[in-house]
Amino acid sequence: MLTGTEILSYCETRLGRNLDSDLALMAINEAIAEIGDMGLLYDTVDVEVTDTDDVYNMPDDWTVINKVILHKDKEYLFQNYTFKAGQIRFFEEGNFTIIARKMPDDIEILSEPITAVHPLYHNAIKFYTLAWMKENDDFEDQTAHMLYEKFERGVSRAAKTLSRSKVPSKVRVIR
């Protein structure tokens, strides 16, 4: 797994000088945040609904609900709910599993491996960090803008590749 230290070393080699490690950490985490929802990360939570008037707060890093599964005698795809501003409300009682996309987590220190996003995004993070460092020296630097574009293309390419790999599932839809 790629670490922040390796990204810092890459940027220092490309720029031919030493860089501030705190700024590198900031740039790496900014790149991870920019990848955001395109990181295609998923999380699940199980909810037992006993009162349809209750509203449930979902984690702050969730961006969109992918699907809700109702557990009865079998698993059913469930659509009788609302999700708005991080809160979900069910219009039926039961046991549910909520599957949602989420934002990737930051790294705390440079020596930490970047596990929050798929390795397909790692080169894009290197380009973003390098662009960030160049832009930090000169806001009008055209090379920085070119590197940001490489970052965007890399993120887009990784997201397209990952979204094409689908896991087969069997669920019955209840409306």
Domain shared by 55 and 93, yes or no:
yes
Domain shared by 9 and 47, yes or no:
no
Domain shared by 84 and 44, yes or no:
yes
Q: What is the mean pLDDT of the chain?
A: 91
Phi-psi region of 19 (alpha: psi -120 to 50; beta: other; left: phi over 0): beta
Domain that holds residue 88: 39-103+167-174
- Other Cβ atoms less than 10 A from the Cβ of 91: the count is 11
* Number of structural domains the chain divides into: 2
pTM attached to this predicted model:
0.80
Whether the predicted pLDDT of 166 surpasses 80: no
Pick the range with the lowest mean pLDDT from 34-43, 109-118, 138-147, 162-171. 162-171
Going by pLDDT thresholds of 50, 70 and 90, the confidence category of residue 127 is very high
Domain shared by 135 and 116, yes or no:
yes
Going by pLDDT thresholds of 50, 70 and 90, the confidence category of residue 168 is very low
Domain shared by 71 and 87, yes or no:
yes
Domain shared by 32 and 50, yes or no:
no
Tell me whether residue 50 is exposed, middle or buried, using C-beta atoms within 10 angstroms of its C-beta: 0 to 12, 13 to 18, 19 or more.
exposed
Domain shared by 44 and 125, yes or no:
no
